[in-house]
Structure 1
């Protein structure tokens, strides 16, 4: 009887050791995956920082002015005249078009909207 109990306990210890090893191995694999993802994230962040720096360098007003002066003849660039701007009567709507409409018999205080009922 003692020998059977010993064999059962030894078998349980071996099973527990096997499960523990498998869990440890799976955790190490996941840890490697996390480290790999963190490295990829860091690389992407550094790439974004580099691209933002490049973008700000390319959009410097002095650089753009120098390029527009250099390629003015080829591109047909010229300064904007004040007359090229739209006149108020050329705009699509007036402020009065967007004012709330008041029905007969209502005042501003009794004006109802679709969401508020008096």
Structure 2
């Protein structure tokens, strides 16, 4: 009645159906994970937009000015004065420039008629 080839073909069809079912099931599980991740990403993006809008509202200069006036006695805020930042005596010495070095090393080449700007101080 059944030949050996029929039995082998039936076994191949059953195994192919089982493989197809497991592959489909695994793909659906991965698709579910992808959709969950996309939903989480969308939620985070919306949260970020809301937080940026909130930050924008909280840092408005007019709002901060009102808060500074309300809590002036507690915070004792005052504008920064120029003398609080620094003094000229606290500034570092002026750095040495290449022109300062080359003018001394050329020994008065600028007076000799050589254009030190275009030749770079090289005597031709």
Between the aligned partners of 1:90 and 1:73, the Cα distance in structure 2 is 33
Unaligned runs of 5+ in 1: 110-118
Between the aligned partners of 2:55 and 2:73, the Cα distance in structure 1 is 26
Q: Structure 2 matches for 1:1-118, cutoff 5 A?
A: 3-91=3-91, 93-96=92-95
Unaligned runs of 5+ in 2: 106-119
Between the aligned partners of 2:18 and 2:53, the Cα distance in structure 1 is 53
Between the aligned partners of 1:74 and 1:17, the Cα distance in structure 2 is 77
**Structure with the bigger percentage of helix:** 2
Computed over aligned residues only, the root mean square deviation of the Cα atoms, in angstroms, reads 2.8
Tell me the TM-score normalized by structure 2.
0.73
Tell me the TM-score normalized by structure 1.
0.76
> Which secondary structure state, in structure 2, belongs to the residue aligned with residue 84 of structure 1?
helix
**What count of residue pairs does the alignment treat as equivalent?**
107
Q: Which structure's relative contact order is higher, taking Cα pairs within 8 Å and 6+ residues apart?
A: 2
Decide which structure has the larger Cα Rg and report it. 2
Residue 72 of structure 1 and its aligned partner are, at CA, apart by: 0.9
Between the aligned partners of 1:28 and 1:8, the Cα distance in structure 2 is 30
> Which secondary structure state, in structure 1, belongs to the residue aligned with residue 86 of structure 2?
coil
Deviates more, 1:67-76 or 1:18-27: 67-76
Residue 64 of structure 1 and its aligned partner are, at CA, apart by: 0.4
Q: Structure 1, residues 74-99: CA drift from partner, whole Å, max 9, x if none?
A: 111112222212124324x44516x5
